[in-house]
Amino acid sequence: MNFLDVRTDYAFKKVFGSIESKEILISFLNALVYEDAPYQIKDLTIVDPYNIPMIKGVKDTFVDVKAVLDDDSRVIIEMQVLNHKGFEKRVLYNATKNYSVQLTKGQEYHLLNPVIALSIVDFTMFEESEAIINKFKLIEKEHLIDYSDDIELIFVELPKFDKSLEQLTNIKEQWIYFLKNAGSLEYIPKTLDKCIIHALNNANEANLTKEELEAQHKRKEFISIQKLAILKAKEDGLEEGMEKGMEKGMEKGIELGIEQGVINSAIKMITKFKLSIEEVATELNISIDELKKHLDKP
């Protein structure tokens, strides 16, 4: 058997954001978000479900899963493979945007419902924390008094999880194992929860159409090229930065060189996919003006 690597955003959307994914998504959220809560999700509505036209091109740079829970809370779930500049700010922006758009002009603020932004990342964000899952909300700094639970940011860092199949002790660990290892599995382990087995069936390439497989593999290739380009950019940038460091001060020179190297190499890579300046700026998480400034440099 061959399974989709759900660490790519399109495969993630296929497994968790399809119309038939409700039971899977409920189990997933209860395990990762509501494990210690006094209540569990019993129902939800998937917003903007997965469909073939949505995944035809690689120009979509932000693919997420959105759902409205049975208590009217909103949840935004994103799978992020690459640690782009400004990613943390984008998560906060998307959470607050989804919070504010709930009201139309003249409506009362008490009608606002909580928003949870759940980000699954394939890189380490918080090196100072050993926890795989880190949760953030608004609190008073000195006395840690809760201000509001209306906006919550949750990050799951996959590189910190290193348990084998035999070491899994609960459904939360099973879901994280699935996220990290689905693409390398050759069979469906019978010890997994029924909802995770259902998710693996959704990710089974044998159950996908030719059109889906082509789009999914194209997206995976696109992300792989990005990874290589960014790695090459860092190497080139470090070399360039060392040279600049001799002239402008080592620390500042390396910083400038890495930044320039990442931008130059990433632009060359994305250009092969014939993206517009706006799409390139989105992919690099920089402003259009900043990108144009770099492009205009001799």
pLDDT digits (tens, 9 = 90+) for 262-287: 566 556 655 655 566 776 666 556 67
Contact 194, 22 (CB under 8 A): no
Q: What is the pLDDT of residues 177-206, one digit of tens each?
A: 999 999 999 999 999 999 999 999 999 999
The pLDDT > 90 percentage for the chain reads: 47
Q: What is the pLDDT of residue 9?
A: 80
Q: What is the pLDDT of residues 230-239, one digit of tens each?
A: 666 556 655 5
**Tokens matching residue 274:** 């014939």
- Mean pLDDT, all residues of the chain: 81
Residue 220 identity (one-letter amino acid) = K
Q: What is the pLDDT of residues 207-265, one digit of tens each?
A: 888 888 887 777 777 777 666 666 665 566 555 554 555 444 444 544 555 555 556 65
Compute the average pLDDT of residues 58-78.
Answer: 79
In sequence order, which residues have a C-beta less than 8 Å from that of residue 100 and are 6 or more positions away?
Answer: none
